[in-house]
Amino acid sequence: MELLNNLKELRKARGLTQAQLAEAAGVSRKTINTIENRVFIPSTVLALRLGKVLQVRVEDVFELGQKG
């Protein structure tokens, strides 16, 4: 299993830059970039914060996918 995300699509749909989302969520722009590129898996707290900032459920941002 791998963690997939729709963070980039949701961020762009709301007209936010990585820097703007990062500031609103209290993290660095690099953190947002690494999440969007599936290099970094956020903590539960950060995932919840991102959902709140984007005004969506965590399940709308992150989902489990089959690897391979």
- For the chain, the structural domain boundaries read 2-65
2-65 topology per CATH: 434 Repressor (Amino-terminal Domain) (1.10.260)
Q: Provide the b/e sequence for 2-40 (b: ≥16 CB within 10 Å).
A: eeebebeebbeeeebebeebbeebebeeebbbebbeeee
Q: What is the pLDDT of residue 68?
A: 60
- Other CB atoms within 10 Å distance of the CB of residue 62: 18
35-57 confidence digits (pLDDT tens): 999 999 999 999 999 999 999 99
- At 27, the amino acid letter reads V
1-33 confidence digits (pLDDT tens): 889 999 999 999 999 999 999 999 999 999 999
Q: What SS3 state is found at 10?
A: helix
pTM score: 0.92
**Helical ranges in the chain per DSSP H:** 7-13, 18-25, 29-36, 44-54, 58-61
